[in-house]
A and B are shown apart, each in its own frame.
Chain A
Amino acid sequence: MTAPIRELGFAEAIREALAIAMAEDERVFVMGEDVGVYGGAFQVTGDLVQRFGEDRVVDTPISELGGAGVAVGAALTGLKPVFELQFSDFSTLAMEQIVNQAAKLRYMLGGSVSVPLVVRMPTGSGLGGAAQHSQSLEAWFAHVPGLKVVEPTTPYDAKGLLLAAIDDPDPVIFFEHKLLYKTKGPVPEGRYVVPLDRAETRRAGRDLTIVAAGVMAQKALDAATILASEGIEAEVIDPRVLRPLDMATVARSVTRTSRLLIVYEGAKSFGIGAEIAAAIAEGEAFGHLDAPILRLGGAETPIPYSPALERAAVPQVEDIVAAARRLARGEA
């Protein structure tokens, strides 16, 4: 039996996942600033408050720390909260609850409790949000044992990964790139899950491997189309989940292509690119490398307000094309 498939927006796919989880399991509820009548800062929760009521779509005061504390407490006592932050930048205020409490309680209490919490965070630049509303902080959370970190690229994955995150007994940080909310793609009706440990090869190619998540995966695919017209076939791997990272898929690809480019929006230094590059350099794929591993990351600067500078501060399609070309031609 196959569920009918329609075109759905990225935000609608997330809302549909929330509605399915809430309809199936009364322990699941949504909370966050303006998630109720206003429908969420990016209109993701939409009409959920009309469908499920204010007890299950809870507007919180403007205190990210307070909200996170409530969410962790609710999870500890048997509920399954999905906590929305308006911008991932504001996670700084909730860090104590996420990093010191949610991530660690299962371990500190000998496995006697778990924290089945999902924190949804709009991430990234591109909408003129400037320095405090445009960051890409995935690497911060991916550094913390006890957390899972998810970053979907397609509406299909957004729905399936969010349902898997809600099912997961442990805390999951769910990054949603703002530029993806308006994108559309095929999404089956009803419940399905995308596993939280598997990368997706979005395009096959043999000349180099590009690893990129979220909106950067989209840009990498656009770049791969341009590269193909020049006779360079790039394989594009979308990790989908940054922790735990599916390095086996990346390593298999690099073994074949011998060249690796990692693209991510967060600041280049100490980022996910370093993690992936190091894992390849440490592993069996090393002996198959025929060029230095390249990273394309964000500039070492807060995201500027000026649209031109904002664009220049993160990797763009033409940057990916240029870097891939150098790699594939043996010029890197």
Chain B
Amino acid sequence: MAVEVILPRVDMDMETGKVSRWHAAEGEAVAKGQLLFEIETAKAAMDIEAPASGTLRGVAAREGDELPVGAIVGWICNDGEAPPARAAAAPVGSAVAAPAGPVKVLGDSTPTSLPAARGATATPKARRLAREAGLDVASLAGSGPQGRVQALDVERARGVGAAKSGAPRAHGEWLRRGAGPPFVFLHGFGAELGVWKPLVQRLDPSRGALALDMPGHGLSPPPPDDVTLDALVAAVEAALAAEGVARFHLVGHSLGGAVAAMLAARLGERVFSLTLVAPAGLGPEIDGAFMDGFLRATSVASLRPWLRRLARDPETLGAGLAEATLKRRAERGLGPGQARIAAALMPDGVQAIDVRPALAAFGGPARVVFGAEDAIIPPRHAVGLPGAVAVHVLAGVGHNPQLEARAEMARILSDQAAAGDARVR
């Protein structure tokens, strides 16, 4: 009975091998153990011995052909015996008549190859989430043991998908790494993520804090030409996905507050708590003169008077804010992007955005914090919010409670974290 000669697996991660040289020709007698052919893999060349004694027939690989591991390269037949019909019928009767390309061999005659895995393994939850998102789990890279796709992988893929579909991804910086769901901070118009640093100093040191630069601010890419509130939300969401932050406590200031409210309504229970600090989007009034003056200023002398409106006590904003703002604007060319945001969301000195429905839709612990002396957005916008939204109006504080009332803000965020964590349990 004819014995098949196969291309063996000679190292663990080998999938194909090249027949680099035959030591025997079609029709030639070979003895078991005699060198029969040489294979080359990505790593090494190796001589293969004849598995039996007899006559080499039905050679199915030319020198130089690359074949899958387990492919039959020929047969060793007894005297007068022909190779099995399929091999004999193959176009390769001899090296002369060899086909142009590598020979394909059916998998069912490849005893040394393992059965191919039928797609990626995935947890039931990952499969369910992928189905809901219209993703194919087989296309995802699994982070679990043996490459198993887990829910986190699907969530990441969804985030990355959103980023690819056009939204620029906001720049983020971990002000602190920690355990459990982190705080995510979104700054206001004209600021950048560094505005949160003094407050984060006062927060529970075991909890992480991720601060993001809004599009057109800090180190983030500029906003799209037709910027909308949703575009800002998408940029934030893409950043969160890229950072692998699936569940978190969300804090937003001013324009960042409006973005936070929209994001919270969109992500629902993934946002454990929502804290809006002097948020935009709750009413039409805003200090339009500030917006115009801020954007138009080209020198410390013309910018500083406007910045003084940001806080009841401008000292709390820190020294050098005007210089730093102008420097960043120049280096990164932030002016046009910020002007686009102002024109689209705050045209004619009016807030053209409304996040009250989003705030009402969010079911988790939500608070709104205003300074009673806010000169940019009137604190009376906190009146008439849904009953479940707690409101703090801090005496003697202006538009930047996170800088002006750091201890109060730290306590509020600590309460929010506790309430959010407890609710999700």
Contact = CB atoms under 8 A, between A and B. Distances in A.
Binding partners A and B: yes
Contacts of A288: 124-125, 128
B145 A286 contact: no
Interface stretch (A42-50, A151-159, A227-235, A298-306): A227-235
Contact of A230 (B123, B124, B144, B179): B179
Interface string B203-234: 00010000000000000000000000000000
A291 interface: yes
A206 B125 contact: no
Report the contact-size class of chain B (Cβ under 8 Å from the partner).
Answer: 10 to 19
B150 A291 contact: yes
A331 B128 contact: no
B145 A289 contact: no
Interface in A61-112: none
Contacts of A123: none
A127 B10 CA distance: 56
Interface string A206-245: 1000000000000000000000001101010000000000
Contact of A289 (B125, B179, B422, B425): B125
Contacts of A291: 123, 144, 150
Nearest to A257: B425
Contact of A287 (B128, B150, B178): B128
Contact of B144 (A256, A286, A289, A330): A330
Interface string B374-403: 000000000000000000000000000000
A28 to B, nearest CB: 40
B414 interface: no
Contacts, number: 45
A205 interface: yes
A189 to B, nearest CB: 31
B424 interface: yes
A278 interface: no
Interface string B103-126: 000000000000000000001111
B148 to A, nearest CB: 8
A330 B150 contact: yes
Given A204-B425, A205-B425, A331-B145, A290 B151 contact: yes
Contacts of A330: 143-145, 150, 152
A258 B151 contact: yes
B150 A233 contact: no
A14 to B, nearest CB: 32
Interface in B123-166: 123-128, 143-145, 150-152
Interface string A285-315: 0111111000000000000000000000000
A332 interface: yes
B124 to A, nearest CB: 5
Residue among A204, A230, A235 with max Cβ neighbours from chain B (10 Å):
A204
Given A231-B180, A290-B123, A331-B145, 14 more contacts: A204-B425, A230-B179, A233-B425, A256-B424, A258-B125, A287-B124, A287-B125, A287-B127, A288-B125, A288-B128, A290-B124, A290-B151, A291-B123, A330-B144
Interface of A: 204-206, 230-231, 233, 235, 256, 258, 286-291, 330-332
For the complex of A and B, list the 4 residue pairs with the smallest distance between their C-beta atoms, beginning with the closest.
A231-B179, A204-B425, A290-B125, A290-B151
21 contacts: A204-B422, A205-B425, A231-B179, A235-B425, A256-B424, A258-B125, A258-B151, A286-B124, A287-B124, A287-B125, A288-B125, A289-B123, A289-B125, A290-B123, A290-B125, A290-B151, A291-B150, A330-B150, A330-B152, A331-B144, A332-B145
